[in-house]
A and B are shown apart, each in its own frame.
Chain A
Amino acid sequence: LAKTTQPISMDSYEGQEVNITCSHNNIATNDYITWYQQFPSQGPRFIIQGYKTKVTNEVASLFIPADRKSSTLSLPRVSLSDTAVYYCLVGAYPNDYKLSFGAGTTVTVRA
């Protein structure tokens, strides 16, 4: 499975855009890129998933360059409630059960 590297922490202010980049140099052809969000005392929650180019939903956008060796999660106009840990996972069926949630990126949004 592709190893991922993402920043340990990021600070931001309300109303700003937050971009978290995840590196995955050895991503395989069939691998998808999936991001989860975890609030304190809760289980992780799926945010967005993509394979290539750009994916957007009501919560975030995911940018994936042509070589797919990295990806960037973009959170537009964050609020205090976006303070959470964000995990980047890379993998594909049938081995996706081996996906590992690393330490993630702790995003702290300040007023």
Chain B
Amino acid sequence: NAGVTQTPKFRVLKTGQSMTLLCAQDMNHEYMYWYRQDPGMGLRLIHYSVGEGTTAKGEVPDGYNVSRLKKQNFLLGLESAAPSQTSVYFCASRPWDIHNQPQHFGDGTRLSIL
């Protein structure tokens, strides 16, 4: 049981380049999230999804797009990377449940924009 898997683990981009980060979960969870974490700071929510085919903006959505074409995958895209997007990106998932099931996190993607 792999849980939440993020690919790639590391990536260096040049300003203006585009790329897609992949998050895959094998727990059949309905909810999926993308966060970014900057040095010495907590996690900030970028986008989230409450089910296949649906996405919504979080706290810091500008410069990012997402897609949830399959229940198990949540993609985060950077159309034109900027140095301000240098960060560690975490994906998380959790089941739909009114009793507040906790989130399960991947180990992150470390992205540097030069």
Q: Which residues of A contact B (CB under 8 A)?
A: 32, 34, 36, 41-46, 49, 87, 91-93, 96-98, 100-104
> Which A residues are in CB contact (< 8 Å) with B90?
43-44
Check A87/B100 contact, CB under 8 A, given A43-B105, A97-B50.
no
Contacts A97-B56, A101-B44 given; 20 further ones with Cβ under 8 A? A32-B100, A34-B102, A41-B108, A43-B106, A43-B108, A44-B92, A45-B105, A46-B102, A46-B103, A49-B100, A92-B100, A93-B97, A96-B100, A97-B31, A97-B33, A97-B50, A100-B42, A101-B42, A103-B42, A104-B42
**CA–CA, A49 to B101, complex, Å?**
9
Q: How many residues of B contact A (CB 8 A)?
A: 28
> Which A residues are in CB contact (< 8 Å) with B41?
103
Shortest C-beta distance, A44 to chain B (Å), equals 5
**CA–CA, A32 to B102, complex, Å?**
11
Q: Does B74 contact A (CB under 8 A)?
A: no
> Which B residues are in CB contact (< 8 Å) with A34?
100, 102
